[in-house]
Each structure stands twice: as structure tokens, then as C-alpha cells.
A and B are shown apart, each in its own frame.
Chain A
Amino acid sequence: MGAAMTEAGLFLLDLLLVLTLLCLAWWSLAATDLFKGIVLFIAFGLVLALAWVRLDAPDVALAEAAIGAGLTGALLLTTLSKLASSIDNPPAKRSSPVLLWVLLVMLAAVLGYAIMSLPQQAQGLADTVASQMGNSGVEHPVTAVLLNFRGYDTLLEMAVLLLALIAAWSLAPRAATSCEMDEALTVSPIVLALFRMLIPLMILVAAYLLWVGAHAPGGAFQAGSVLAAAGVLALLCGKRLEGRLAGWPLRLGLVLGTAMFVAVAAAVMVGGAHLLQYPLASAGKLILLIEAAATFSIGLTLAMLFSGQRPSRGPAS
């Protein structure tokens, strides 16, 4: 009786999640006010994170909440604040295109049909992963897949992140000198006090997430996004990189994650092994090394994307 009750309750919860997601997505897309659209999008990300929890994917849930909802939301809001000055009137409302609707409905029908036809339980690779966990150097299957079994994908994804930053910088203006920035911004002392208390805590949480990734949900992307959040907070409090750090030291920090990954991947080949074929004895340490560098670079990259400017080489004065 109790089990049936729980099952019914969970079914209702799932139904509620799905309906909320659909509504939030629709409202976010249909909102004519961009600010409202972004806020709804952030809410959408948070509910989606809950949905991932229900799907037994806590790693994805953490990443979705931190990056999908948190940092993407912050990026969208800071973009909006920069757009505000250049857009005077909202774009005129266009008539909804009939052809698009027909195509979308067809796509939904076809996709629905295909998904319904699939077997309920996918065979997947979970068993293969489980049988090889002993050779992976870590104890958490998601980390084993991301950093070992399919580490090459993650290596290229790190390159994509670097690429995103280079792309943003190639479009962005150079920041004004750091002195001007600081003067333009007045931050309340309460926020500053909070900032001083939060930053060490956030760095500690990031380090914990990085460490715990070896045997539980966590890892470089989650830790990196917490670090990035600390960076965003610092930027909001008017902190800027010192001029002498804004040149090549900053760029080094940004490529560190990808560079370390490539270096380790290539270095293990020296003994005649394949790319990314870690020696079993040191696999755990090498993975931690890659993840530590990746965490640092991910945090720095996301924070730099938030700032939206290339830091200037520093004031001459």
C-alpha cells in the first residue's frame, strides 16, 4: 500500500515537473520583455535540474543548475544590460509563421512516435562501464567515462570552451583601464563584507567538488562553475585583475586546462601506449591533475565570458 502511494506520488511529481517545464519554456520564449524571458529561462534551468535528479543523474543536475541556470542566466543578464543602451524599442511582433508551426508539429509527432517505439530499458553501456571501473583509476562511473573511457571527447570539449572565449574576445572591445572601472562602480560595504566571507567558502566548495568527483557526483565542470561564480561575484564587487596579471598570465590560466589535458594525453604515449592510455597505477593521480587544471581554467573562462571584455594590459599610471 505504502509503495503504491509513493509511486503515485512520484508519478504526480514527474507530471508536475514536465508540465512546469513546458509552461516555463513557452513563457520564456513568448515573453516580449527580454528581462522577463531571461528570468523565466533561469527558472526553467532550475526545474530542469530537478528533472535530472528524478532521472537519477545528479551529476547532470549539478551541472544544469550551476551552468545551465546560474552562469548562463548571469551571462544573459549581463548581455541584456549591454543591449539596453543600443535597443530603444522592442522588436515589432511578427505574425506567427504557419509553415514553421506545421513543421514543428510534424517533428514532434515523428519524434514522439520514434521514442515510443524504443524499448523502455536501453541496453546502454552501463554494464561495460561497471565491469571496467577497476581499471579506470577512479570510483565514480561518470568521472571514469568523462576523464578516462571517453576522455578524448572531454579534451575536445575543453578546446570548445577555449574557443568560445577566443571568439568572444575577438568581438569584444578592450576594457577601459582598471582604475576607471573601479571609480565608476560604488559597492555597498555590506556587499563587500559578504564578498570577503563568501569567496574563501566558494573556493573551498570548488576544491571539495573537485576532490569528491573521484568517487561521487562532482568533478571539474561543477567545481569550475562554482569557481566561476566566485569570479562573477568578484567582478560585481568591482574587483578587476591587476594590470600585470591581465596579459600573458591570464591567457596562460585560460589555456591551462586544455594544455594540461593535451600534455598528459600525449605524455602517456611515450612508453608506446595509446593517446590518453593512463598507466593503471597513476591513473587516479593523472585524472586529478587534469581535473584540477580544468577546474581552474573553466572557472576563469566562465568569469571572463561574464565580464565580456578583454582585460586591458593595465593603466600606465
Chain B
Amino acid sequence: MIEASGTPLPWIVWVILLPLIGAMLCFLWPRQGKTLGLLTALATLLAVIALYFQLLDGGVIRYAVGGWGAPLGIALYADGLSMLMLLMSALVGVGVSLYALGYFKHSPDNPAGFWPLWLLMWTGLNGLFVAGDIFNLYVTLELLGLSAVALVALAASRDALGGAMRYLFVSLLGSLCYLIGVALLYHAYGTVDIALLGTLVERNPATHVALGLMVVAMLLKSALFPLHFWLPPAHASAPAPVSALLSALVVKASFYLLLRLWFDVFSTVSMDLGMVLGVLGAAAIVWGSVLALRQTRLKLLVAYSTVAQLGYLFLPFALLSPLAWQGGVYFVLSHALAKAAMFMAAGNILAFGGHDRIADLDRVAQRLPITMTAFCLAGVSLMGLPPSGGFIAKWLLLDAALSHDQWGWAVMMMIGGLLAAAYVFKVVGFAFTQADAPHDAQPVSPFMEWSALALAVCAILLGLNAHYPLELLAIGGPVTFVSPSP
């Protein structure tokens, strides 16, 4: 562990400050929003990469903001898990920023707010991934939730406003539950620092209630079945780049926070709940997939697919082996890349034909080949076919289940894969056929096509280089991630 004080540039601070400064600049000069936004995205990517090398060199980073240190001050903390999340956000973030360059040129959606709101969301995301303090996490959750809601509402439609409003209520309810948990823990243990809490927490009523409330808050924000009701309308009605951000990153942030609480704060008391989360995850896989299969609108199909895929993230809570946790985290990464690409491809199709009715896709495959390739590659990862990132994730999860003779979970994953194949092929099938009523097509910006393809290719590449992320995850990871199971 290094104290990052003597280092010339504390990158852990700049991954938060850069997007924040960029957001302010974009707000001050809205006309230069695109240029400033893109520059900020690239600068943030570079800062994240610099932090990555700092982490590789010196191991886990702990940084005392204001020099006070816990418990008086706030600590920032980065280990392999946080680093993976930062890299994932930076990759998807740059992809979406490039996509947005083309998207808002022709779209009826309101472009003015996009750049400052998205960069503030990125500030919240990065702040959340490196926070070492449960109250500071609450503040980052506020940044994240409010910016996400505002971004959904940028699509100036009735559906989007309704979806955004419901999303706001759910997000606030989740934050409140979380905050009550923070208050209980502070009163009981006199600190809000995660590392200190981890050593102090013991079994008592206040701890259990705090655990329950905080877990429910994160399940609500991660849209785990049956708390997923708000996700499809919000994710499907948002502008395409926003849908990509929400499905790829925002739901993962609350999942990450759940992992942090689970392992670093409540490790001594949390295990009783694991089976419940696993069962809910399995139910989410089936329910989300079946509903995705029944959708007639492309974006809703992709949104329900998110509900299903999020289910896999919760299987490790029941499988309880290092392999399963590696699989779960790998699933976060591969789903982020694949789902961002898929929502961007869906956005291209919507912009191209002016609608997203699956039955009337009308030979999109021939007319938008790059977009359709992106959609199919993303689909490969969602189904879990080799050589994609989704394959590695499912392989790790299956291996974990089978090596402990937990056949039920393995069967659930197989069913999920088959259903995913069914809904992906449903779209692909209609993309080749001619619709009854052909319609005019709008041009689609090359930025939108190529950025979707780039992220989809990344999702595939993730399957070919599995050892890099897994080695990174091992740096300072919670014990259960790395030690061989007994």
C-alpha cells in the first residue's frame, strides 16, 4: 500500500477533477460544448490510464484528502476492482462521447444540456469508484442519480418525461435508504471510513438494519428483479447515447457499491443474505429474457435484456467462490461494452428509419452494415458465445457452479444464454427481411456507426485477453476474489 502524497501528480484526484472542470467549461461555453466535451473525455481517459500505471507500480492507493486521514477527513481509495471500473467507464465514456458528436446533429432531442450533464455524471462515477468513505459515496450517488435523470429527460417526449420522473423517485428512495444506513453506522461506530468500519463492525441490530437498508437501496438502483420496474421505461425512452451510459455504467456503479459494502464493511455479517440475492438474480435472468423476447420495440427489447443480464451479476452472491466473483466482475465489464454498443446500434437504427419497430426493420442489415455488425458482435457477447468477454464471464460462473456441484445455477445460466440467443436472433432475422411498408431513410453519421462498432469489438477482444483484467482484479482485491477456495 502506498501513500500517494510524495508522487508528483495524484491521478486519483484528477480522474474526478478533470470531468468536473470539463463540465463547468461546457456550461460556460455551450457553443464549444462538443470540442470541450471531447477534449475532456480524452483527458479523463489519459488520467485513468496514468492512474492504472501508478496502481501497477505501487499497488493499492490510499489518498487522504486535505491531509487529515480517517476518521476525521475523507480517504480516496483505489484497488484493482476500482481500477477496472474506472477503465470501463473511460472506454465506454470516450465511445459514447464520439457517438454523441454525430447523434445530436440530427436528433430532435435537446443537445444543450448533454455535455455538462454527462461530464458531471462521469465525475460522479469516477468519484464513486475511488471513494473510501460511505458518506462521500452518498454525495457521489446524488451526482450520479440527478445527472442520470436529467439526461433521460433530454429526450423531449412524453415517455421520456414519465420515465425520468419515475427514475427520479426510485433514485431518491434508494439514496434515502442508503443515507439512513450511513446514519446508523456512524452513530454505532463513530466513523464513516470504509476501512475503519470494516474492522469495527460487529453483529448487532443496528448493523443488520443498516445492511438491509443499504442492500435494498443498491438493489433498487441496480434494478434487480423485482425492483427493475423503473428501468425499461427510463432506459428505452432516453436519447441513444444516454441509454448506452445508463445501461453500461450507471447500474454498474450501484452494483460496485454493493460489492464494496458487502466485502469491505459488512464482511462479518453479510453472508446470510447471499442466497436471496442469488435466487433473485436467477429470477431476473428468466423474467427479463422472456419479457425481452416479447417486446415489439427494439429499444425496449435491449432495455429488458439489461434487466436479464443484471441477474448474472448477483449469482456469485450465492455461488460464493473466488471463480464466481471473478466471473461476476468480468460480466460487469463485458456487459458494459456490449450493451453500450447495442444501445448505440439501436439508436442508429432508430435514427435511420425514424422508428424502432422490430417487425419493420426493413433490410437494415444491407443498408447499415456497420451498425448491424456492431449489433451482432454485441449480441455474441450477450449470448456468451466464444470468443467474447461474455463467454469468459459465463465460463467462470459455470466453472464455479459445476466445481461445487451446484447444477441448478448452471442450468439457469444455460437457459439465460438460450433466451438471449432467441431475442438477439429475433432482431437479426427482421433486419434481413423486407418490410411491407418501406420508408424513407435518414443518413446516419459515421461517428455513430463506427463508435458502436468499436465498443462491440472491444467486447469481443475482452474475451481474448482475459488474464489482464483478472490480474488487475487481484491487486488489493477482497480476499474472496483471489484466494483459492477451501
Contacts and interface: CB of A to CB of B under 8 A. Distances in A.
Interface of A: 110-111, 113-115, 117-119, 122-125, 128-129, 132, 148-153, 156-157, 159-160, 162-164, 166-167, 169-171, 248, 251-252, 254-255, 258-259, 262, 265-266, 269, 272-278
Contacts of A119: 188
B135 interface: yes
Contact of A156 (B23, B66, B140, B190): B140
Given A118-B184, A156-B140, A248-B28, A275 B205 contact: no
Nearest to A261: B20
A160 B63 contact: no
A242 B146 CA distance: 30
7 contacts: A125-B72, A151-B66, A157-B139, A166-B120, A171-B153, A274-B67, A275-B63
Nearest to B142: A160
B154 A128 contact: no
B66 A149 contact: yes
Interface residues of B, number: 57
A274 B113 contact: no
B143 A163 contact: yes
B136 A153 contact: yes
Interface of A is mostly: helix
Given A148-B66, A166-B120, A167-B117, A125 B212 contact: no
A86 to B, nearest CB: 12
A262 B17 contact: yes
Contacts of A265: 17
B187 A274 contact: no
Contacts of B27: 162, 166, 251, 254-255
Nearest to A158: B20
A274 B64 CA distance: 7
Contacts of B204: 117
Given A119-B188, A156-B139, 12 more contacts: A110-B209, A118-B188, A132-B68, A156-B127, A156-B143, A159-B20, A163-B146, A170-B153, A171-B150, A262-B24, A269-B10, A274-B64
B63 A274 contact: yes
Contacts of B13: 266, 269, 275
Given A117-B204, A163-B146, A167-B113, A110 B212 contact: yes
B6 interface: yes
A229 to B, nearest CB: 24
B212 to A, nearest CB: 7
Given A118-B206, A251-B28, A274-B5, A170 B120 contact: no
B209 A113 contact: yes
